[in-house]
Amino acid sequence: MTGGAASGEPSSGGSSVSIGEFLAGELPRIDAALDRAMDRLPAGTPAAAAIRHGVLSGGKRLRPILLVEAFRSVRGEAPEAAYDLGAAVELIHAYSLMHDDLPCMDDALLRRGEPTTHREHGEDDTMLGGAALIPLAGLQSWNASGDLGCADVIRRQLLVDLCRAAGSEGMVGGQVLDLLGEDEVLTAEELDGLHSRKTGALLTAPLVMGARAAGAGPDVLEAMTLYGRSIGLAFQVADDILDATSSAEELGKNPSDEDLNKSTYVSLHGLAAARDQAGALVEEGLEALRRGGVDSEPLRALAHFIVERDH
Q: Mention every residue, 6+ apart, whose C-beta is less than 8 A from residue 229.
A: 196, 200, 204
Which of these segments, 94-102, 136-144, 226-234, 297-305, binds ligand GRG (CB under 6 A)? 94-102
Which of 47, 62, 82, 221 is close enough to bind ligand GRG by CB under 6 A?
62
| Closest distance to ligand GRG from the beta carbon of 125 (Å) | 16
Is residue 100 a contact residue for ligand GRG (CB under 6 A)? yes
The interface mask with ligand GRG, positions 102-131, x = CB under 6 A, is ---x------x-------------------
Give the residue at shortest CB distance from ligand GRG. Answer: 59
Which of 11, 73, 96, 117 is close enough to bind ligand GRG by CB under 6 A?
96
Which of 52, 53, 99, 262 is close enough to bind ligand GRG by CB under 6 A?
99
| Closest distance to ligand GRG from the beta carbon of 32 (Å) | 17
How many other C-beta atoms are found inside a 10 Å radius of the C-beta of residue 29?
17
Is residue 23 a contact residue for ligand GRG (CB under 6 A)? no
The interface mask with ligand GRG, positions 153-172, x = CB under 6 A, is ------------------xx
Alpha carbon distances (Å) from 279 to 33, 233, 235, 300: 33, 11, 11, 13
Which of these segments, 92-100, 206-214, 261-269, 295-303, binds ligand GRG (CB under 6 A)? 92-100
Q: Cβ(235)–Cβ(199) under 8 Å? A: yes
End-to-end CA distance of the chain: 21
Please state, in angstroms and rounded to a whole number, the distance separating the CA atoms of residues 232 and 238.
10
Footprint of ligand GRG on 213-272 (CB under 6 A): 239
Is residue 59 a contact residue for ligand GRG (CB under 6 A)? yes
Based on CB atoms, which residue is closest to ligand GRG, 3 or 232? Answer: 232
Based on CB atoms, which residue is closest to ligand GRG, 96 or 277? Answer: 96
How many other C-beta atoms are found inside a 10 Å radius of the C-beta of residue 30?
22
E strands present in the chain:
110-111, 114-115
Based on CB atoms, which residue is closest to ligand GRG, 26 or 145? Answer: 26
How many other C-beta atoms are found inside a 10 Å radius of the C-beta of residue 100?
17
Please state, in angstroms and rounded to a whole number, the distance separating the CA atoms of residues 148 and 140.
12
Please state, in angstroms and rounded to a whole number, the distance separating the CA atoms of residues 28 and 230.
28
Please state, in angstroms and rounded to a whole number, the distance separating the CA atoms of residues 167 and 174.
9
Strand partners, 111: 114
How many other C-beta atoms are found inside a 10 Å radius of the C-beta of residue 202?
25
Interface ranges with ligand GRG (CB under 6 A)? 59-60, 62, 96-97, 99-100, 105, 112, 171-172, 175-176, 198-199, 239
